[in-house]
Amino acid sequence: MSKRWPGFLLIVAVLLLWEIASMQKWIDPVSMPRVSVIASSWVGSIVNGTLPESIGPTLWRIAVGFGLATLIAVPLGLLMGSLSFVYRLFEPITEFVRPIPSSAYIPVAILFLGIDNEMKIFVVFLACVFPILLNTYSGVRGIDPVLIDTGRTFGVSWLRALWSIVLPASLPSILTGMRISLGISLIVAVVAEMIAGSSGIGYFILDMQRIFRVPEMFAGIFTLGILGFMINFMFLKAEGYLLRWRGTSVEA
Amino acid sequence: MAAATALSKPVDLKSAAESVPERPRPVPAQPIIQVKGLRKTFKSKNGGLTVFDDLSCMIERRSFLSIIGPSGCGKSTLLKLVSGLESPTYGEILFNGRTVTAPPKGMIYVFQQYTKSIFPWRTVIENVEFGLRAQRSVSFKEARERCREYIDLVGLKGYEDYYPYQLSGGMQQRVCIARALICEPEVLLMDEPFSAVDAMTRAILQELVMRIWQKLPITILFVTHDVDEAVFLSTRIVSLGRTGSGIAEDVPITLPSPRDQIATRADPRFTELRQRLFGSIFVQEKVQETGAATT
C-alpha cells in the first residue's frame, strides 16, 4: 500500500487539473462541470436515494447472470475437458458463438424476453458463459497425467475424481475465467440498461444526460468506477483465499 | 525391530502395525503377482517400439523385488503394466490369481514425480486422508486418528497442517508414501521414488521403506536405476536387458536382515553383488550408446 502513493497522487493531480480547467473555462464547463460540483451532486443523488436505487438492480442482474453462468459453464467445462466426445460435441458451436459480442443479442433478447430483468440477466449470462467455459476446459486439459493416474491407482470413481482431483486442479484457471467474466458482466449490464428499460445505473447515466443534469451523469460514471473496483477487489480476496495452497500470495 | 532403533527419530510403529487387520491368506504357494508372456509395443510414426516380448516372471508374497536395467529398458513401463495403469499388447498379469485389467484394489503406485502426484490443495493430513477415503468411508474422528498414525509412521509428526509447497521434496514423497500405505495395500509399486531427492534424504527414506516393509504385511516392487539402492533394499533383483531383450538376470539377495546403511554396505557380499549387477548393466548401457547414439 505504501508504495502506491504516486498512483493516488496522480489521481488527485488529474482531478485538480480538471477542477481548474473547468473553472478557468479552458474546457466547456457545461459538458465538463467542475469536480467539486460533481461531488456535491453525487452526495445529493445519494441522499435523495436516486443513485442507490439505481445501483441495486444493476448488482442484482450481474449477480444472477454471473452466478447462472458459473453454475452452467463450470460443470460443462469440466465435462468438455475430461470427455473427448463432449468436447467434440460442444467445441464447434462454442467457437462459433463465442466471437459474437453479447450486446448484439440485445435486440433478439428484447423480442423474446421484453425489456425487463429477464432480458438483462440473459445477456449478462451469455457474456459470462464463454470466458468461464473456455478457461475451465483448458484448465482441465492442462492437468498433468500423473495427477489423473494418482486418482486411478487409488481406485476412485470417475465422478469422485472429477470432484476431488479435476475440479481443484483446474480451480486457478476457472477463477481466472470468472474474473474476466465479472469485468465483462458490468459492461454488458450497463449497455443493456442504456438500450432498454427504466432502471439500473446504466439507465441513470443516460437519463441524467438526456435531462441535461451533467454533474449527476458524471456522478453515475464515477459510481461505476468505484463499483467495478470494489467487485474486483472482493473477488481477488476470495481468490487468494481459495488458492492459499499455492503459496504465492496474490497481491490485490 | 532393531531397524527402528537405527532411526534418529523413533516412531510408534506398534500402533500402526496393530491397526493392520488380518487379511485372508490365500494358499501360500501361489505367487502374489504372475507376469505371463508379456509384450508391450508403443506405436510411433516410424513403426513401433517393442519394449519387451514374451516376458514372464513370478513374484512371491512378502518379497522386496527391485527392477533395474539400463535407461530406456522399460523398467517403469513394466511397473505401469503390473499396476494396471497401462495395458499390455499381449500377455497378461495376474494379481492374486486374477487378471489385471484396471488398477486393482490392493495395489498402490507411488510415482517418481511426487510433486505432480501430491495434491497441492490439500494439507499433509488431507492428502493422507484421500488414501483412506478412497478405500472406504470412515467417521471424521476415526479418519483423523488413522491419518495421524501413518503420518507418524513416515516421520512427519507435527506437519499435519502444512501445505505441500511448505515441505521439502523428501517430505512430499513421505506424504505420498503415507497416502499409499493408509490404503493397506498388499503390493506397493514404487517407481524410482527417491531419484529426485538428495543423497542423505535418500538414505533416510531407504531405511524408512525398509522398516515399513519389515513391519507391514506388504510386497514391494521397486524400480530404480541405482544398483546400490536395489541391493541394499531387496530380497530379489530382476535386471532387465536392453530394450526388447527381456530379463537379463534374476538374482536373489540373501544379505542378512535387518540391514543397516553402514554395516550392510560394508559387507563383502554387498560389494560383490553390486559389482556384478553394475557391471552387467554398464556393459549394456555402453552397447546401447554405441549402437544408437541417442538417449
Give me the total of CB pairs closer than 8 Å, taking one residue from chain A and one from chain B: 57
Q: Of A45-59, A151-165, B281-295, which range is least confident?
A: B281-295
pLDDT classification of A248: cutoffs 50, 70, 90 = low
Chain A residues within an 8 Å CB radius of B105: 155
Q: How many domains does chain A divide into?
A: 1
The pLDDT value given to residue B10: 44
Is residue B25's pLDDT more than 60?
A: no
Q: Nearest Cβ partner of B134 from A144, A146, A155? A: A155
pLDDT at B27 over 80: no
* Tens digits of residue pLDDT in A107-148: 999 999 988 899 999 999 999 999 999 999 999 999 999 999
Lookup: cell for A83: 470427455
What DSSP designation does B183 have?
T
The DSSP code sequence of A75-131 is HHHHHHHH-HHHHHHHHHHHHHHTTS-GGGGHHHHHHHHTTSHHHHHHHHHHHHHHH
Q: Which residues of B touch A144 (CB under 8 A)?
A: 113, 116
Q: What is the pLDDT of residue B2?
A: 42
Backbone dihedral angles phi then psi of residue B69, each to the nearest 5 degrees: 155, 165
Q: Residue A104's domain is classified under what CATH number?
A: 1.10.3720.10
Q: Is the pLDDT of residue B6 over 90?
A: no
Would you place residue B283 in the very low, low, confident or very high pLDDT band (cuts 50, 70, 90)?
A: confident
Chain B CB contacts of A155 below 8 Å: 103-105, 134-135
Q: pLDDT grade, residue B13 (50/70/90)?
A: very low
Q: Average pLDDT in the B115-133 region?
A: 95
Q: Is residue A33 one of the residues assigned to a domain?
A: no
Which domains does chain B carry? Answer: 1-12+33-106+185-289 (3.40.50.300), 117-184 (no CATH)
| A166 domain-assigned | yes
Q: Are A63 and A88 in contact (CB under 8 A)?
A: no
> pLDDT at residue B21 above 60?
no
Instruction: Give the model's pLDDT for residue B292.
Output: 56
Which residues from chain A sit within 8 angstroms of residue B113, using beta carbons?
144, 146
Residue A144: C-alpha distances to residues A3, A148, A165, B84, B113 (Å): 38, 7, 11, 19, 11
pLDDT value, residue B241: 85
Contact list in A for residue B104 (CB cut-off 8 A) is 155
Q: Find the domain containing A74 and state its range.
A: 54-245
Radius of gyration, alpha carbons of chain A: 22
What rounded mean pLDDT belongs to chain A?
93
| Closest by Cβ to B116, choosing from A144, A154, A156 | A144
Mean pLDDT of chain B: 86
A208-222, A229-243, B68-82 — which is least confidently predicted? B68-82
Complete edge-to-edge strand list for the sheet that includes strand B64-68:
B107-110, B187-191, B219-223, B64-68, B236-240, B247-252
Nearest to B108 among A153, A164, A168 (CB): A153
Identity of the residue in A153, A169, A247 whose CB atom sits nearest the CB atom of B83: A153
Is pLDDT above 50 for B261? Answer: yes
Residue A46 lies in a domain: no
Taking 50 as the threshold, does the pLDDT of residue B154 lie above it? Answer: yes
A186 lies in some domain: yes
pTM of the complete model: 0.85
Which pLDDT tens digit goes with each residue over B179-192? Answer: 999 999 999 999 99
Residue B25: CB atoms within 10 A of its CB come to 8
Residue B8 has pLDDT above 60, yes or no: no
In a domain, A189, yes or no: yes
Chain B residues whose beta carbon lies within 8 Å of the beta carbon of residue A246? 120, 165
Identify whether A142 is part of a domain: yes
Name which of B104, B111, B121 is nearest A150 (Cβ-Cβ). B111
In whole angstroms, give the CA distance from residue B201 to residue B73.
27
- Which of A205, A209, A203, A230 lies closest to A220 in space, CA to CA? A205
Does A2 reside within a domain?
A: no
CB atoms B134 and A168 under 8 Å: no
pLDDT score at A1: 55
Minimum mean pLDDT range among A248-252, B38-42, B280-284: A248-252
Q: Which of A96 and B21 is assigned the larger pLDDT? A: A96
For the CA atoms of A135, A138, A140, A144, the dihedral, rounded to the nearest 10 degrees, stands at -130
User: Which residues make Cβ contacts (< 8 Å) with residue A105, sequence separation at least 6?
Assistant: A122, A123, A126
Which residues of B sit within 8 Å Cβ distance of A? Answer: 83, 85, 102-105, 107-109, 111, 113, 116-117, 119-122, 130-131, 134-135, 163-166, 183
Contact B247, B239 (CB under 8 A): yes
pLDDT at B22 over 80: no
Is B163 within 8 Å of A247 when comparing Cβ atoms?
A: yes
